[in-house]
Amino acid sequence: MIGQDGQAVGTVERAAVTVPAQQDIDARKSDGNWFGGVKVSVVVPALNEAENLPYVLPRIPTWVHEVILVDGRSTDDTVSVARKLMPEIRIVEQVGKGKGDALRLGFESAKGDIIVMLDADGSTDPDEIPAFVGTLLAGADFAKGSRFNQGAGTSDMPLHRRLGNWVFVSVVRALFGGRYSDLCYGYNAFWSRVVPRLQLNADGFEIETLMNIRALRADLRIAEVASFEAPRVFGEGRLQTWPDGWRVAKTIWREWRKPFRPADL
């Protein structure tokens, strides 16, 4: 639940989702003519997320053209659970390591006109996908999720991480301009044609910061989308506050020091 100030109130209740009905599977396989023929790809990086996928994959809208799960060499049943829940899912095996590496591989594999990033742990809500897609169809190049816009919130961000995010947002505003309200959040969507323009080269959690900075530097039309971040359903998160925060800080510093010439669209 979210209060009027945009902050989380109380707890978020979630129930497990069953395997989708056959008609939903058939609808997903059919190209149809959704959004004037625009096709949407959802990229889900995953590492040992078998317990969490039932709370994520069945809730992805059936009109999505394809769902790509980038598996980071999981040692649990992540791949078999994904195929059971969504028989038509595309599995891409990650060779490298890190969330950034997995996302870049997913972007390269996507065939849709629009790409949506979605976490496999249940922290990002598939029900928000239409808001991101609608923002792009309304004219944005890059739809950036924010936990701090009106109507947004988070129940998975302790005070020290809030303060760190605020510091990073302030620094990026000062160095690169823009009016971001959030920086280190991984729920984004964008037209696939802008991926080469961003020239992404990060391997870890800093990929999100890098994308946001380079979207600014590439003069993309950026719109923030209010989003709610929930705690992961099962297991411990892999983000390490201090090591990953240091990687984010170094990314901001390198981007400020290094000239960036985006490729032409």
Among 73-87, 156-170, 234-248, name the one with the lowest average pLDDT.
234-248
| pLDDT number for residue 9 | 34
Q: What is the pLDDT of residue 262?
A: 74
CATH number, domain at 53?
3.90.550.10
Give the span between the Cα atoms of 206 and 184, in whole angstroms: 8
CB atoms within 10 A of CB 33: 8
Give Cα 4 distance to the centre of its chain.
25
pLDDT at 194 over 60: yes
User: Are 69 and 46 a contacting pair, CB within 8 Å?
Assistant: yes
Q: What is the pLDDT of residue 16?
A: 47
Q: Is residue 262 part of a domain?
A: no
Beta-strand relationship, 142-146 and 66-71: unpaired
The verdict on residue 1 lying in a domain is no
- Is residue 103 over pLDDT 50? yes
Give CA–CA dist 231/237, Å, rounded: 9
Would you state the pLDDT for residue 34?
59
The SS3 of residue 118 is coil
Predicted pLDDT of residue 243 = 76
CB atoms within 10 A of CB 139: 8
pLDDT at 20 over 60: no
Structural domains in the chain (count): 1
Residue 264 falls inside a structural domain:
no
Query: What token pair was written down for 135?
Result: 């923002």
Residue 260: per-residue pLDDT: 75
Asked if the model's pLDDT at residue 2 lies above 50, the reply is: no
What is the pLDDT at residue 12? 36
Do strands 40-46 and 114-117 pair parallel, antiparallel, or not at all (unpaired)?
Answer: parallel
In a domain, 13, yes or no: no
Query: 99 or 162, which is more confident?
Result: 99
**Tokens at residue 5, please?**
């100030």
Provide the pLDDT for residue 198: 95
Positive or negative torsion for Cα 147, 148, 149, 153: positive
**Which is more confidently placed, 100 or 159?**
100
Structural domain contains residue 5: no
d(CA 218, CA 198): 7
pLDDT in tens, 29-60: 554 455 678 999 999 999 999 999 999 999 99
Query: Which residue in the block uniquely carries the two structure tokens 């998160």?
Result: 237
Asked if residue 221 is part of any domain, the answer here is yes
Q: What is the mean pLDDT of residues 80-84?
A: 98
Question: Residue 156: inside a domain, yes or no?
Answer: yes
* Bridge partners of residue 66, in order along the sequence: 41
Query: What's the whole-number average pLDDT of the chain?
Result: 87
Could you read off the pLDDT of 202-261 as tens digits, one per residue?
A: 999 899 999 999 999 999 999 999 999 999 999 876 666 667 778 899 999 999 998 777
What are the structure tokens assigned to 155, written together?
């129940």
Give, as one character, the DSSP assignment of residue 226.
Answer: E
- d(Cα 183, Cα 203) in Å, to the nearest integer? 17
Domain membership flag for residue 245: yes
Tokens of 171: 């620094």
Q: Domain range for residue 107?
A: 22-257
